[in-house]
Amino acid sequence: MYYYSIGYTSYEDSGFAVLMNEQQFSSGEFNAMVFSCVSLVAQETKSYYEQSEFQTGFGYYSVYDKLINVKFSDIYETIADKLCEKFDFAKLEYQADFALFGWPNLNEKEDWDYDDERHIKISEMFMDALKDVKIHPEHTNDFGYD
């Protein structure tokens, strides 16, 4: 079994779908498959947006306004579904995951007011392991941000 990933990243978040296939494909071959599915998704998106206007909580806006806001983060999961339909990929389903917000300082139990019990446990483990570390007097965590 071979594993493939499709997703997006940004400065604030990311999303990925992990796909499996019995066949091994090169990056170029996988990219070509993705592009062929993007074409299908684009055509389906066009059909959906052929309405003249859409209603939101803020009133109406035109199709053109909506189309310029299509992002890869909006369509990558649909592309993954198309890869499954068209090229016999299967989505990898996780039985469990361990993902935490990555910015809080592990040496501060309640940094960012983040109260996930798994984060607190890891913080306690780090604080216990590092409690005897002598910090150099010139050490700083100040990276110049206000």
What pTM, to 2 d.p., does this model score?
A: 0.70
Does 127 lie in the same domain as 145? yes
Q: What is the pLDDT of residues 38-56, one digit of tens each?
A: 999 998 877 776 655 555 5
Does 87 lie in the same domain as 103? no
Percent of the chain with pLDDT over 70: 79
Q: How confident is the model at residue 146 (pLDDT cuts 50, 70, 90)?
A: very low
Backbone angles phi, psi at 53, to 5 degrees: -155, 160
Give me the domain span that covers residue 43.
Answer: 2-91
Q: Report d(CA 125, CA 111) in Å as an integer.
A: 15
Does 81 lie in the same domain as 29? yes
Does 115 lie in the same domain as 45? no
Cβ atoms 50, 56 nearer than 8 A: no
Cβ atoms 17, 7 nearer than 8 A: yes
Q: What is the pLDDT of residues 96-139, one digit of tens each?
A: 988 888 888 887 777 777 778 888 888 889 888 888 888 777 76
Does 82 lie in the same domain as 15? yes
Q: How many domains does the chain have?
A: 2
